[in-house]
Amino acid sequence: MAGRKTGELLLKAHKVVKTFGGLTAVKEVSLEVRAGEIVGLIGPNGAGKTTFFNCLNAIAGPTSGEIMFAGHSLVSQVSPATRLLVFRLGALFALLSLLWLPLALGVVWPETFFRLEAVLALSGLAFFRIYLLKPLSHFRAWSRLLLLIFVLADGLWAVVWLWRSPDFAEVGFFSLFPFYPLLVPGALLILIAAPFFLLMFNLPRVREAFGQHLRADVITALGVGRTFQNIRLFSSLSALDNVKLGRHCRTRANFFGIVLALPGARKEERDSAEKAAECLRFVGLGKQLESRAGSLPYGDQRRLEIARALATEPELLLLDEPAAGMNPTESAGLINLIRRISQAGIAVLIIEHDMKVVMNLADRIYVLDHGELIASGTPAEVRSNPLVIEAYLGAQHAAAQA
Amino acid sequence: MHLDDRLFSDKKLYLPLLAAVLLLPWVPMGLAGPYVLRVATLTLVYMVLALGLNVVPGFTGLLDLGYVGFFGLGAYTAGLLTVHYQWSIWLVLPLAVMNGVFWGVLRGAPTLRLGDDYFAIVTFGFSELIILVIRNELWLTRGPMGVPGIARPDFCGAVLDQPWQAYYLILFFLLLVLWVVVRIRSSRLGRAWFAIREDEIAAECVGVNVANYKIIAFALSAAIGALAGAFYARWFRFVHPDMFKFWESILILCLIVFGGMGSISGALLGAFILIPLTEVLRIVLPDSLSNARYLLFGLLIVCMMRWRPAGLLPVEKE
Amino acid sequence: MLTAIFEQSSLFLQQLVNGITLGSIYALIAVGYTMVYGVIQLINFAHGEIYMLGAFLGFSLLSGFFGFGLPFGLAVAVSVVVCALAGVLLDIVAYRPLRRAPRLAALITAIGMSIFLQNLALLIWGGQIQSFPQHTIPPFLGEPALLLGDVVVSWLQVVILTTAIFLMLALHLIVHYSRIGRAMRAIAQDKTAASLMGVDVDRVVSYTFALGSGLGGAAGILVGLYYNAVYPTMGYFAGIKAFAAAVLGGIGSIPGAILGGGILGLAEVFGGGYISSSYSNGIAYAVMILVILVKPTGLFGRQQRDKA
């Protein structure tokens, strides 16, 4: 843990929007979590709470809006359309580099690669062009024209091919193509450049510049752990292995270290077993290290999921309805557990239906309804807010109270 | 403790097994000796293949229907390099493995986002394309004529022309592969694969870079397949496109389904039971029906899935 | 110059005719894949074997392989019905016990069944290529129905095309205007909801298998007649190509399967004729892989729902 001061801004979501097709599931939600806080997120069923969590850790990133976590932007600054365009142009480039190789080799061994190229060109190129250039049409009229020209040219090319290909095989297709001496060096150049180009897309900084989303695993490594509403454990693995998987992003051993049993890798494995056992003891599962996760009782599974999230050493823990399906005793234990997590210096953002749990725990509460933020404040403020009562119990009840 | 974890740590388990396989060539069996040794060598080749295939469907949970493609790729790479350049197996083998890895990654990279059945179809189509290219590009592979006259394996300049020498060589490769998969199974890498198999989204949320780990699995699996292929070419001294038909993929799949998907000892046991059985059936059945032994494998797969989907030596503790 | 173009164009037209014929057969098989996938999300690898079974049954009933011969029309009808029953049996024996098992298990079972059936045929009928005895086929089928310059359209091609169109129309009517069709579409939308509304899922799945397998069996006989060759591995390649057609059209979509079959038949004939006959199978694989990688929903497929 980075030892942040209590009250330092940790997570800041600003006007986060998520749409599915025409449906807006989250509408301009803004929210803050400070270090050391427990923040509740409540709302009726279908209010978009889990969708919002998915936006935060990039399982399904937001359509627009800004999310900052500990100084990192978790969302791109670039519009999805541009992102798509850039990505597809990259794919087109990679494809061309693949196509150029048989083209170029076709000069050297016509009888072999000539045909291969034809198969590729016919079955793939037209299709790829349509697919790759489609996003262009979002932009300008001229790009639509370009698309049309490309498609027509492909069609024409295919017809010429079908009609005349026996001639080409004899005459040599490349005499029709004035630049063919450039093919071989060109192909070499592209072949050398292509891996770098593809690699470039994988560099985090470039990804950020091009507006690629951070992936969920990167966000976890930055320090955001989460649990799920419908428990998602690795159910056929043991409880210990589940939590060891949480250590995954904090360990470094690679293939060779593991296979050669290098001392570093072995020590790391021992350490992660120790840390995992510690996390399990912390949530009160110290005795069930070797039990199969899927066969644990329901409440234990919930706690195991929390242990797994804790093992990733988060600064912020996202809990999605941790008390769902628990009896009063169990949820009392849960409240105690979340308190201890908070005392360990981990900020908690919690979605919960059980009002007793959330009112008891949270320092502040945000209320979502139909994807919109309708209220926020301390538990006492939220409880007496007429908008919240209306959202939960309907307008009539609110009127009756007033 | 599961059997797989004990393979290299439990002396009571591995010493008798190792002694048995090491002594096999020296057991007097009269006229049947050479034949038994041949079948034993073949069984070890299939054990390597089963361990290699197991990495993808067993560990990461993606059904690979085209494993024979890498077997063929390795065999042809090794065979052609040997025939053209007369290189030593210790040079040819790494090249074949590298070629396998290259195509394994190339095949795997675009399939990362695919669901289980689409992945199966792509792997199947890809391996069929590999075999199709091998069959048709006469200038490179001699096509349906096959590549005859591949040199035997060698060691420090000496040619390994005795059957028991080839047997020990593949035993060495098997132990090597076994060591790699057993080590990885109980490491962070293996756990990451299991996590992907169980739940990809949850795996991502605990910080597993799903794409990278899938690629590593594809590369390792392809490498092992190519390794087996390279040895096979040098041992059998002949490669032909018909040796790498779709059936072979299914046969290898059958081995791990029988032994238990994801279980290392299961893969070994599957090969140990089924490969000698195949060879016996090849002799027992008349020539025209020798392919009908696959009927048995089809039935076996169906029955295993129906009544014992976890295989003979399941991974999970009860 | 002009004559050259004319010759080329007649070759082109001939290929077009052949391609459409082949495409209509692929479409018939592809529909079987697509229907089953639409209803239970399973790639029924054994479907190609049902098609092979259709061809062999047609052959056996006509040539008296079982000790008796049937007239042409009756033989076709019987083999289609038997294929439909075989499809239902396949579902009941192999797939139904695995409805709740992981998808991988059902997929592996499908592969196992495919291999089992193919080798069963090998055991029963032997591995060699067999052809229909001349006297059993109505003689007019071999004669040209239409002559356009050098382009020949045989009666057999006409029969194949009309049968295919007729069966497709019948299928369309069943799927869209009958109770069972409505139940199929309901299950394809949401299996749980459909069963809660009182749809007997198992029964509907059986009907789906029967319809798909019947069409596959019909395609088998037609192909057996078209190439006059029947052999145990015929279901393998045809199955792959038809599956590629189903994927191209968008798996789960019946019109997509028909269009995909047409495209693939044409691509195969033209590819085989103009590019390289040895890679004609490769075209199907390449199309299949490209479609899956680039647009897994195919031309008409539904967008997969996000299950995050």
Residues of chain B neighbouring C44 (CB-CB closer than 8 A): none
Q: What string of pLDDT tens digits covers the 318 residues of chain B?
A: 577 777 777 888 888 888 888 888 888 777 777 888 999 999 999 999 999 999 999 999 998 988 999 999 999 999 999 988 888 899 999 999 999 998 898 888 778 778 778 888 889 888 888 888 888 877 778 888 888 888 888 888 788 888 888 999 999 999 999 999 999 998 999 999 999 999 889 998 998 988 889 989 999 999 999 999 999 999 999 999 988 988 889 889 989 998 888 899 999 999 999 999 888 888 887 776 666 778 888 888 899 888 888 888 887 754
Q: What CATH homologous superfamily does A1-73+319-402 map to?
A: P-loop containing nucleotide triphosphate hydrolases (3.40.50.300)
Is B150 a domain residue? Answer: yes
- Establish how many alpha carbons lie within 13 A of residue C184's alpha carbon, considering only the half-sphere containing its beta carbon: 28
CB atoms within 10 A of CB C150: 12
CB-closest option in C42, C112, C285 to B301: C112
pLDDT category of residue A319 using cuts at 50, 70 and 90: very high
**Chain C residues within 8 A of B300 when measuring between CB atoms:** 112
CA angle C302, C28, A119 (to 5 degrees): 75
pLDDT per residue as tens digits for the range C208-265:
999 999 999 999 988 888 888 898 888 888 888 888 888 888 887 888 888 889 888 8
pLDDT at A170: 47
3-state secondary structure of A15: strand
Task: Assess if residue B191 is contained within a domain.
Answer: yes
Tell me which of A22-36, A162-176, A221-235, B129-143 is least confident: A162-176
Q: Of C302, C308, C268, which is closest to residue C285 (Cα–Cα)?
A: C268
Tokens encoding A279: 């996390």
Domain membership of residue C239 (yes or no) is no
Instruction: Convert B35-64 to b/e letters by CB count within 10 Å (16 or more is b).
Output: ebbebbbbbbbbbbbbbbbbbbbbbbbbbb
Which of the pair, C79 or A218, is modelled with greater confidence?
C79
The domain in which residue C173 lies consists of 11-234
> For residue A178, is pLDDT > 50?
no
Contacts of A320 in chain B (CB under 8 A): none
- Inform me whether the pLDDT recorded for A181 exceeds 80: no
Task: Say how far apart CA C294 and CA B113 lie, in whole Å.
Answer: 11
Q: CA angle at residue B85 from B84 to B87, to 5 degrees?
A: 130
Domain of B97? 3-18+33-307
Interface contact flag, B317 A217, Cβ < 8 Å: no
Give exposure, B246-274, as e/b (b: 16+ Cβ within 10 Å).
bbbbbbbbbbbbbbbbbbbbbbbbbbbeb
Q: Is residue B7 part of a domain?
A: yes
Mean per-residue pLDDT of chain C:
83
Beta bridge partners of residue A24, listed in sequence order:
A19
- Inter-chain touch C281–B300, beta carbons under 8 Å: no
Percentage of residues in chain C having pLDDT higher than 70: 92
What average pLDDT does chain A have?
75
Smallest Cα distance from C289 to chain A, Å: 10
Chain B nearest CA to C65, separation (Å): 19
Please give the tally of structural domains in chain C. Answer: 1
> Is residue A130 exposed (0-12), middle (13-18) or buried (19+ Cβ within 10 Å)?
middle
Predicted local distance difference test score (pLDDT) of residue A209: 46
pLDDT, residue A109, reads 52
Sign of CA dihedral A127, A132, A137, A142: negative
Please name the residue of chain A whose CA is at the shortest distance from the CA of residue B262: A236
Q: Is residue C201 part of a domain?
A: yes
User: Cβ of A119 and C279 within 8 Å?
Assistant: yes
CA angle, residues C20, C25, C27, in degrees to nearest 5 = 90
Task: Flag if A166 and C274 touch (Cβ within 8 Å).
Answer: yes
What's the token pair of residue A388? 């919240």
Residue C106, class by beta-carbon neighbours within 10 Å (0-12 exposed, 13-18 middle, 19+ buried)? buried
Q: Contact B136/C286, CB-based, under 8 Å? A: no
Tell whether pTM > 0.90: no
Does any domain span residue C279? no
Residue A192 above 80 pLDDT? no
Nearest CA-CA partner of C15 in C269, C227, C272, C267: C269
CA dihedral (B156, B162, B165, B169) positive or negative: positive
Number of structural domains (chain B) is 1
CB-closest option in A120, A131, A161 to C294: A131
pLDDT value at position A171?
Answer: 42
CA distance A123 to C63: 41
- Cβ–Cβ below 8 Å for C43 and B117: yes
Is residue C1 in a domain? no
Domain boundaries, chain A: 1-73+319-402, 80-208, 233-313
Beta bridge partners of B62: none
Q: Rounded to an integer, what distance in angstroms lies between the CA atom of residue C154 and that of residue C151?
A: 10
In a domain, B121, yes or no: yes
Confidence at residue A338, expressed as pLDDT on a 0 to 100 scale:
92
C282 and B298 within 8 Å at the Cβ level: the answer is no
User: Pairing mode, if any, of strands A9-20 and A23-34?
Assistant: antiparallel
Residues in contact with A89: Cβ distance below 8 Å, sequence separation at least 6, in sequence order: A132
Contact between B103 and B110 (Cβ < 8 Å): no
- Partners of B191 on chain A (C-beta within 8 Å) are 237, 241, 244-245, 248
> What local confidence, expressed as pLDDT, does residue B175 receive?
93
